[in-house]
Amino acid sequence: GAVVSQHPSWVICKSGTSVKIECRSLDFQATTMFWYRQFPKQSLMLMATSNEGSKATYEQGVEKDKFLINHASLTLSTLTVTSAHPEDSSFYICSARDRENGYTFGSGTRLTVV
Amino acid sequence: GQNIDQPTEMTATEGAIVQINCTYQTSGFNGLFWYQQHAGEAPTFLSYNVLDGLEEKGRFSSFLSRSKGYSYLLLKELQMKDSASYLCAATPNTDKLIFGTGTRLQVFP
C-alpha cells in the first residue's frame, strides 16, 4: 500500500528557533499534500494544502509567514515552523492523496518548544 | 463554511455494539471517511462512503445519508483494543479532507 514517511517523529527546540518537518511519499507521486495540526484530545485541524511547484494554500487563521510550506518535488513537502514559541507545541501530521485516491498519513511529528 | 460534529466521548463494554454518529454541513460533498486514531499516532483508514447506504467491513460498518448530512460508524463485538479516537472526515471538494471534532471511545471489560 501507499506509504508516507514523516520526519522527525519528535523534536524539542528552544523558543525563537525554527524547525523543519519533512513529509515524503515513498512509492507514489503526490502532487498535493496536506498539513494538519492536532492539540491534545482534539481532532486534526487542516493548516494548508501543499501543491507541487506552486504556493501552498493556507486555511483561514493560519499564518503563512510562520508556517512555511515548500513542495519542491512530487514526493517531498516540508513544513517549517519559524520562530517557534511554546504555543506552537503540537502534533503535526502530513497526508497525501495516494493512487487509489485515498488519503495516506505520515506518522506525525511531536513538536515541543521550550 | 464546513461543520462536522461528533459526540466528544463515548463508553462501552467489551463485546457490545456501539454507534458513533457524525453530522456534517459542507460546501460541496465528495465522500465521507472514518478513521481510527490511537493517542500519538497517525489516523488509520476505516471506511469510505460516497453513496447512501451501509458499507460493512468485518466488525466495522459505516452508514451514510447524504440528504440528511449524516453518517455513523458501527462497531460490533467490541474489544479492548478498540479504545481510541474515531474521526469522521468529509471531502467538500475533490481535494481537501476536513475532520470532525472526533469521538474518544473507551471500552471497559
Tell me the HSE value of A84 on the side-chain side, using a 13 A CA sphere: 21
Share of chain A above pLDDT 70, in %: 98
Q: Which residue of A has its CA nearest to B98?
A: A46
In what helix (H) or strand (E) does residue B106 lie, and over which residues does it extend? strand B103-108
B5-14: b (≥16 Cβ within 10 Å) or e: ebeeebebee
Share of chain B above pLDDT 90, in %: 82
Mean pLDDT for all residues in chain B: 94
| pLDDT for A101 beyond 70 | no
**Residue A96: closest CA among A24, A45, A1, A37:** A24
Nearest residue, CB atoms, A32 vs list B40, B95, B102: B95
Which amino acid is residue B13, in one-letter code? T
Best of B94, B97, B103 to mutate (most A CBs within 10 Å, chain A): B97
- Residue B60 — very low, low, confident or very high, per pLDDT cuts 50/70/90? very high
- The contacts of residue B6 (CB under 8 Å, 6+ apart) are B20, B21, B22, B86, B87, B88, B100, B101, B102, B103
- On the 0-12 / 13-18 / 19+ scale of CB atoms within 10 A, B89 is buried
- Residue A68 — very low, low, confident or very high, per pLDDT cuts 50/70/90? very high
Looking at residues A67-74, what average pLDDT do you find?
Answer: 92
| pLDDT tens string A17-31 | 999 999 999 988 888
Share of chain B above pLDDT 70, in %: 99
Q: Look at residue B40 in the predicted model and tell me its pLDDT.
A: 87
Q: Which residue of B has its CA nearest to A10?
A: B40
Q: Does A43 touch chain B (CB under 8 A)?
A: yes
| pLDDT for B12 beyond 80 | yes
CB contact under 8 A, A93 and B42: yes
Q: Look at residue A2 in the predicted model and tell me its pLDDT.
A: 84
Taking the C-alpha atoms of residue B51 and residue B55, their distance in angstroms, rounded to an integer, is: 10
Which amino acid is residue A7, in one-letter code? H
| pLDDT for A1 beyond 80 | no
Q: Look at residue B72 in the predicted model and tell me its pLDDT.
A: 98
- On the 0-12 / 13-18 / 19+ scale of CB atoms within 10 A, A60 is exposed
| pLDDT tens string B65-101 | 999 999 999 999 999 999 999 999 999 876 789 999 9
CB contact under 8 A, A34 and B42: no
**Residue A87: closest CA among A68, A105, A113, A64:** A113
Q: Which residue carries 460546501 as its cell?
A: B27
Q: Does A44 touch chain B (CB under 8 A)?
A: yes
| pLDDT for A110 beyond 90 | yes
